[in-house]
Amino acid sequence: MALDQDTLGQIAQGLERILADAPLEAVDHASGQGAEADAVWAVLSQNGFPAIAAGEAQGGFGGSIADAALLAQLTARHALALPLADTMLVMNVLSQAGLDLPQLKLALADPVEPGAHLAHAIQAQAVLTLAHGQLQLAPLSREILTVQERMEDGAAALSGPLPAPSIEGPAPNWLTPIGLRALGALIRSAQMAGAMQAVLDLTLSYTQEREQFGRPLAKFQAIQHHLSDIACETAASIAAVELACDAIQAHPECPEEGIEEIAIAKIRCGQAAAQVAACAHQAHGAMGFTREYKLGRYTRRLWQWQDEFGSESEWSVWLGSRVLADDEPALWPRISRSV
């Protein structure tokens, strides 16, 4: 199921208003913890955003993973330092498995790379894992976490075994480890696309307002090249995410076709993230690297999201293996098929 476009648009507008009024920079500087972070999360929860992509039978709003990806893109444009995107994804998965929906901040462990750092670990109250066909939601506590240095949004590594799960049950037959990783990659791709849009807007504003030698920076050809590169890479990333969302909407049980489109989106967004961040920092000069200036809030996350739920290199290997595994020529039909 998916929300109709009018409903989804109204929900996105509501989320936009909440995020525009929230003290997000203060929440960011506090690593998504403290009274201000709790207040922002309370508003998001009261308005039902964590359960947007969960089934109505479980108390959700009946949205899809594609709907969650659109809202995740919006949260990234505001550099929201809270696990709303991951919680929406976990709620969707629990709902599809017919399991209860907890009113908690939730994290998702990478089912393909269990040793990978856990995004939002010190903010989340529980983490979803998939192993041997079983979904398990286990409580998180600081005692079993090692905070990762120079990581955004309270990322941490598990330093001990998880406690007994509070919710568990069999995963749907179609939800394989690579399928669940792909859903996480779709959310991260959407977030990267949203962050790149914010970087573009910020860089345009900065270069038009800042002057040197009596002219705005945006009038210099070198800066115009940076702006053009950022705009092109951002547009390509947004398009890749839209195609992946269309594929997963057409194949909600995440078959190989849907995973392939998500892989392409994660590869494209990961490649773009590196170039967008580099060009934006060049255009901003030293301003871009300070903690006090907005740009770093986006580019630090871009660098981190590149590797979460599979880097572009890992997904490139997976996608290439899929193409080469077919007995018949498979590359051109994939490139030339209608979308």
Distance CA 52, CA 145 (A): 29
Q: What is the pLDDT of residue 287?
A: 66
Phi, psi values for residue 88, rounded to 5°: -60, -45
Q: What is the pLDDT of residue 289?
A: 63
Distance CA 113, CA 164 (A): 21
Nearest to 256 by CA among 267, 247, 243: 247
**Amino acid present at 176:** T
Phi, psi values for residue 175, rounded to 5°: -85, 85
C-beta of residue 126 within 8 angstroms of C-beta of residue 106: yes
Q: What is the pLDDT of residue 92?
A: 96
Look up residue 119 and give its two tokens.
């995004």
Q: What is the pLDDT of residue 186?
A: 97
Residues of each domain in the chain carrying CATH 1.20.140.10: 177-336
The topology (CATH level 3) of 177-336 is Butyryl-CoA Dehydrogenase, subunit A; domain 3 (1.20.140)
Distance CA 113, CA 27 (A): 29
C-beta of residue 134 within 8 angstroms of C-beta of residue 171: yes
Nearest to 83 by CA among 108, 58, 61, 53: 108
Q: List, for the chain, all residue ranges whose pLDDT scores fall below the cut of 50.
A: none
What is each CA distance from 299 to 21, 88, 240, in whole angstroms?
22, 23, 20
Q: What is the pLDDT of residue 79?
A: 95
C-beta of residue 37 within 8 angstroms of C-beta of residue 156: no
Q: What is the pLDDT of residue 273?
A: 97
